[in-house]
Amino acid sequence: MQIFVGLGNPGGKYAKTRHNIGFMAVDRIAEDHGFSPWRARFQGEVAEGRLGTEKVLLLKPQTFMNLSGQSVGEAMRFFKLEPGDVTVFHDELDLAPGKCRVKTGGGHAGHNGLRSIHQHIGEAYHRIRLGIGHPGRKEAVAGYVLHEFAKAEEGWLDDLMRGISDGAKALASGDKPGFQNAVALRVAPPRSSQGTGQKGAGQKTAGKPGSNTPTAKDGDAAKPQAAPEAATEDSRSPLQKLADKFR
């Protein structure tokens, strides 16, 4: 069994804020993969289901961000799991908006939710770092993360959520590259490319409409063009040329 934790703050006031992108991620997984309805448990809200062959508990701590570890620790101990069975989805200031990175272990980089989880279960859990960008000034961070996503950000945010849902089964099976690839295909799908040797759009090709190159009409290729006639030498004498003018 595994626990997928989404970090955020409870209540409608914070529902659409950048700090709640972890909640948004597990909500999308629950919706797309037929998990049970959310119910109160472990100082949070939980939904149960399967991702592929793996049984997964989705958890949204309701303790507010800086006490998230209480909820995560309680759930982990109840199911007798290890930190390696826990994956946490959280907002990441140090990644550009829409970027997603997988990390295991390491520091909490000042994130209050991760700091609390470190205190309760240690650092050896997995994290899904969801980029929200940085406001540029340290003193602006608190207001920035608690502010709702702008209308202009809805496109990449929806793509990111779709990608996380697409890759959820791979993540549960331990296929981190497969998960990252699923996200990338949504956030930055490959552009369609033409085959090698083909002309790019706008390039002129002989025989095509709009080309500056003359083209042969049907059947002309089999007809050799007549060679220009060679100039002939005038062998008449000057007197003959003069006499010819008066004829």
What are the catalytic residues? 19
Could you tell me if 122 and 83 are in contact, meaning their C-beta atoms sit under 8 angstroms apart?
yes
Could you tell me if 172 and 2 are in contact, meaning their C-beta atoms sit under 8 angstroms apart?
yes
**53: helix, coil or strand?**
coil
Give the N- to C-terminal CA distance of the chain in Å, as an integer. 118
Gap between the Cα atoms of 16 and 146, Å rounded: 9
Gap between the Cα atoms of 79 and 73, Å rounded: 10
Task: Please give the distance of CA 149 from its chain centroid, rounded to a whole number.
Answer: 17
Question: Residue 47: which of 78, 55, 158, 227 has the closest Cα?
Answer: 55
